[in-house]
Amino acid sequence: MIKAVPAKVAGEGSVWNNNSYHWEQKSVDQWSTDTLKKTLSLFYFKMEKATLRITEVKDLTGEASVSIRKGKKIVVYEYKCKLLWECDMADESNSKVVGTIGGEYEMPEISNDVLADGDEWDIECRI
């Protein structure tokens, strides 16, 4: 399998920022929040006879920004969210749902700092 390697994108600042050398920051809160809500609300996972899906993005708060410094793009984000989920279990023929269970996922800190440290995000699951 051949994987495409994304090209590095150089950061470009405003006209006044010669060679994008000086620190420049732009909020992308609205775009980021809208994109996360849309992506999370469409999520589902199917495995054998079970299908898990997100039924509601109950709470999503936080902020995101893109900065430019010395021609490099720096993305910073920090969010927390609560998602409602349901999981349907199908019968042996996989044609009819025989049971459903639901609950809530809570992610208290989704941020670039956590992944930068090699850690994983904490996810609390309630049924």
User: Looking at the predicted structure, is the pLDDT value of residue 63 above 90?
Assistant: yes
Q: In a 3-state reduction of DSSP, which class is residue 38?
A: helix
User: Looking at the predicted structure, is the pLDDT value of residue 116 above 70?
Assistant: no
CA–centroid distance for 41 within its chain: 11
Mean pLDDT of 43-66: 95
pLDDT band at 120 (very low <50, low <70, confident <90, very high): confident
Class for the domain spanning 18-126: alpha beta
Using CA atoms, how far apart are residues 92 and 81, in angstroms rounded to an integer?
35
User: What is the average pLDDT value for the chain, to the nearest integer?
Assistant: 84
pTM of the model: 0.73
Q: What pLDDT is recorded for position 115?
A: 64
- Least confident among 69-78, 90-99, 108-117: 108-117
Domain boundaries, the chain: 18-126
Position 28, amino acid: V
